[in-house]
Amino acid sequence: MHRRYLAPGALAAATVLLAIPASAASSTTGAPGIGDPYYPAYGNGGYDVGHYDLRLKYQPKTDLLEGTATLLARTTQDLSRFNLDFLLDVSEVRVNGAKASFATSGEHELEITPKHPLAKGSDITVVVRYSGVPSSKSAYGFTGWHRTQDGGVAANEPEAAWWWFPSNDHPLDKATYDVSVQVPTGTQAISNGTLQSTSSRLGWTRYNWRSNKPQATYLATLAVGRFDITTSTTESGIPVINAYSKELGDNYNAARASIERSGEITDWLSEYFGPYPFNSVGGYVPNTSTRYALETQTRPFYSPARFSSGTNTSVVVHELAHQWYGDLVSVAGWKDIWINEGFARYSEWLWSEHEGEGTTQEIADYVYASHPADDPFWTVRPGDPGPDNQFHLAVYDRGALALQALRNEIGDEDFFAILKGWTAKYAHGNATVADFRTYAERVSARSLGQFFDTWLYEPSKPAAPEARAASIARKASAPVPPKSWKKLVATADVHQH
């Protein structure tokens, strides 16, 4: 997912130190980071956002984005000053109606000093007026904004919000969203949730989107361009909204033949994970030159390249599985990425079995056997991979292998009860890998510490006896790749460049 040219953790830590020495920070200054060890400057401290209202205007010709963001938040400490994360040019900030002073610092910090200090536990309203050309802005040497021939797209992980709205940019602070975007008539604006209304006037059309369940900032998305929009309803009654750039060329039909199955796949996944948690579902494909896909809430982003070999339902399964594992239950910190990717990958394996192209067991056996013990694949610890390996193949494939091993260890009944119960227990919240282990131990009534160490934390290949104990690669003969293997390989880099 990252476009990283520099070591992020180190740089971010240095930025924090330069900006605010710990000794100088007063107890009423909101922290410039929320406390994520992988990304110390991401998010902020001192408040919690409940709702973002974004009223925007975008000009595809110039990439100029103008807008007003109204944030409804609650303070979690006394605040003389607090930060938002943002890159565009701010012209005015108001806190509870009064003009506030503001300054920028670090790579993406907007420091706001309200006219009157804020007491802990107050409901506050923050209004930020801004404008700017997102494609001209970068932080840490990269941009998460994709300029297209007919517009622009915000979709990246973990960094996407900085280029289009000021936020507390970390999954720990989820909020609901109203996103209203004015674009030249003939151009469409796509975002999360349901399209509440559109209105046209004097050559401009306004799209009003609503995402009414808590949503992490990196899962908020905006795409402006010329799209064909399709609407339908799943068999279970969920509204489906898909959008395809008119400029997809030869990939157009393959994209459509894949993503139009989103409703069917959502209903299928809900049998494993519980009722679909949001107000709509779908997907969109802008004409970007990127290669990845992303689980933006209710409306995953897909690069056209995902469909260059024809239909690709695996990637649709992956991103829709994230609606539960990633979006409904989000990481508490970015080190917990396995609770997103291990499960999204395992869902692709379940789909392979559903399609008669190889069982989850066959795929797990093949993953285990096809990486020799000296393969660097095994040195990445999916349970805590480090920021540079956050989207490493091992988080996905060793991560899914761990789930098959767990399933064999505790049995189908407990395993599938966990898959469904976990999403209910932590619905609309956050969780850690350790929380998952605790939950699995409770449901299965077993101690799984050693098991999780072996499969998620040891920087080495689980030894043959341990694999056999978890019914992985029991046959001595070299396993043959399952039918679906080529498709799975093709989606292995789903979040990587």
Characterise 24 by phi-psi region: left (phi > 0), alpha (psi -120 to 50), beta (else): alpha
| Interaction of residue 344 with Zn ion, rule CB under 5 A | yes
Integer Rg of the chain from CA: 23
Shortest Cβ 238–Zn ion spacing (Å): 21
Stretch touching Zn ion by CB under 5 A, among 216-224, 336-344, 353-361, 365-373: 336-344
Cβ closest to Zn ion, residue 154 vs residue 344:
344
Shortest Cβ 440–Zn ion spacing (Å): 21
Cβ closest to Zn ion, residue 45 vs residue 277:
277
Shortest Cβ 494–Zn ion spacing (Å): 6
Stretch touching Zn ion by CB under 5 A, among 44-52, 251-259, 333-341, 440-448: 333-341
Cβ closest to Zn ion, residue 344 vs residue 401:
344
Q: Amino acid letter at 175?
A: A
**DSSP, res 306:** G
Tell me the C-alpha distance between 118 and 81, whole Å.
8
Helix then strand then coil, % of the chain, to nearest 5:
30, 30, 40
| Interaction of residue 331 with Zn ion, rule CB under 5 A | no
Restricting to residues 222-261, name those near Zn ion by CB under 5 A. none
Shortest Cβ 432–Zn ion spacing (Å): 18
Query: What is the per-residue DSSP string for 351-398?
Result: HHHHTTS--HHHHHHHHHHHS-TTSGGGGS-TTS--GGGTT-HHHHHH
Where b means 16+ CB within 10 Å and e means fewer, 482-497 reads: bebbebbeebeebbee
Shortest Cβ 148–Zn ion spacing (Å): 22
Cβ closest to Zn ion, residue 31 vs residue 316:
316
Shortest Cβ 230–Zn ion spacing (Å): 24
Tell me the C-alpha distance between 183 and 198, whole Å.
11
Q: Which residues contact 270 (CB under 8 A, 6 or more apart)?
A: 236, 276
Stretch touching Zn ion by CB under 5 A, among 46-54, 157-165, 257-265, 342-350: 342-350
Site size for Zn ion (CB under 5 A): 2
Cβ closest to Zn ion, residue 112 vs residue 344:
344
Q: Amino acid letter at 35?
A: G
Cβ closest to Zn ion, residue 33 vs residue 342:
342
Q: Which residue is nearest to Zn ion (CB)?
A: 344
Tell me the C-alpha distance between 403 and 345, whole Å.
10
Cβ closest to Zn ion, residue 182 vs residue 340:
340
| Site of interaction with Zn ion (CB under 5 A) | 341, 344
